[in-house]
Amino acid sequence: MSIAKTYNPKEAEEKWYSYWMENGFFRSTPDEREPYTIVMPPPNVTGVLHMGHMLNNTIQDVLIRRARMQGKNACWVPGTDHASIATEAKVVAMLKEQGIDKKSITREEFLKYAWEWKEKYGGIILKQLEKLGASCDWDRTKFTMDPDLSEAVIDTFIKFYKEGYIYRGVRMVNWDPQGKTALSDEEVIRKEVNQKLYYIRYQIKDSDEYVTIATTRPETIMADTAICINPNDTRYSHLQGRTALVPLINREIPIITDEYVEMEFGTGCLKVTPAHDLNDYELGQKHNLEVIDILDDDGTLNEKAQILVGEDRFIARKKVAKMLEEAGQIDKIEDYKSQVGFSERTDAAIEPKLSMQWFCKMDQLAKPALEYVEDGTIKLIPEKFFASYKHWMENVKDWCISRQLWWGQRIPAWYNDRNEWVVAKTEAEAVAEFESLGKSTNGIRQEDDVLDTWFSSGLWPMSVFDGVRHPDNAEFNYYYPTNDLVTAPEILFFWVARMIIMGHDYTQKPPFRNVYLTGIVRDKLGRKMSKSLGNSPDPIELMEQYGTDGVRVGMLLSSPAGNDLMFDVSYCEQGRNFANKIWNAFRLVKGWETVDQPATDAQKTAATWFENRFNQAVADIDEHFANYRLSDALMSTYKLIWDDFCAWYLELVKPAYQAPIETETLETVKTFFEKVLALAHPFMPFLTEELWHDELFGAREKGDCAIVATYPITQPFDEQIIKEFEVVQQVISEVRSIRNTKGISPKVALPLAINATVIDFKKYQESIIKLANIAELTFVSEKVHGAVSFLAGKDECYVALESNIDVAAEKERITKEIAYLKGFLASVEKKLSNERFVQNAKPEIVQNEQNKKADAEAKIAILEESLRSLG
Per 3-state DSSP, the chain is made up of helix, strand and coil in percentages (nearest 5) of 50, 20, 35
Question: With 80 as the cut, is the pLDDT of residue 712 above it?
Answer: yes
479 in any annotated domain: no
Distances (CA, A) of 461 to 41, 85, 480, 637, 849: 10, 22, 8, 32, 53
Quickly state the pLDDT bin for 188 (edges 50, 70, 90).
confident
φ, ψ of residue 351 to 5 degrees: the values are -115, 120
Amino acid at 749: A
Which of 332, 351, 370 is a domain's end point? 351
Is 763 among the annotated ligand-binding positions? no
Whether residues 726 and 706 share a domain: the answer is: no
Question: With 70 as the cut, is the pLDDT of residue 532 above it?
Answer: no
Whether residues 216 and 194 share a domain: the answer is: yes
Range of the domain at 791: 722-869
Pair 240, 257: CB distance under 8 Å: yes
142 in any annotated domain: no
Report the pLDDT averaged over residues 182-189: 80
Whether residues 759 and 704 share a domain: the answer is: no
CATH number of the domain encompassing residue 194: 3.90.740.10
Query: What is the pLDDT, as a whole number, of residue 527?
Result: 77
Which of 717, 732, 750 is a domain's end point? 717
Whether residues 222 and 347 share a domain: the answer is: yes
Distances (CA, A) of 589 to 2, 611, 665, 753: 11, 18, 11, 33
Pair 333, 199: CB distance under 8 Å: yes
Question: With 60 as the cut, is the pLDDT of residue 1 above it?
Answer: no
- pLDDT tens for 660-689 read 999 999 999 999 999 999 999 999 999 999
497 in any annotated domain: no
For every residue of 820-859, DSSP letters joined together read: HHHHHHHHHHHHHT-HHHHHHS-HHHHHHHHHHHHHHHHH
Query: What is the pLDDT, as a whole number, of residue 309?
Result: 96
* C-alpha closest to that of 572 among 54, 112, 197, 53: 54
Whether residues 592 and 705 share a domain: the answer is: yes
Radius of gyration of the CA atoms of the chain, in A: 36
70 in any annotated domain: no
What's the structural domain count of the chain?
A: 3
Query: What is the pLDDT, as a whole number, of residue 871?
Result: 64
Whether residues 550 and 667 share a domain: the answer is: yes
Query: What is the pLDDT, as a whole number, of residue 869?
Result: 67
Q: Where are the alpha helices (DSSP H) in 627-718?
A: 630-639, 650-653, 663-680, 685-692
Neighbours of 484 (CB within 10 A): 21
DSSP β-ladder status, 188-204 and 330-343: antiparallel
Q: Which of 495-499, 806-810, 848-852 has the lowest mean pLDDT?
A: 806-810
- pLDDT tens for 321-340 read 999 999 999 999 999 988 89
Provide the phi-psi class of 699: left if phi over 0, else alpha when psi is between -120 and 50, else beta: beta
Whether residues 742 and 621 share a domain: the answer is: no
Whether residues 654 and 621 share a domain: the answer is: yes
Whether residues 709 and 734 share a domain: the answer is: no
Report the pLDDT averaged over residues 202-212: 94
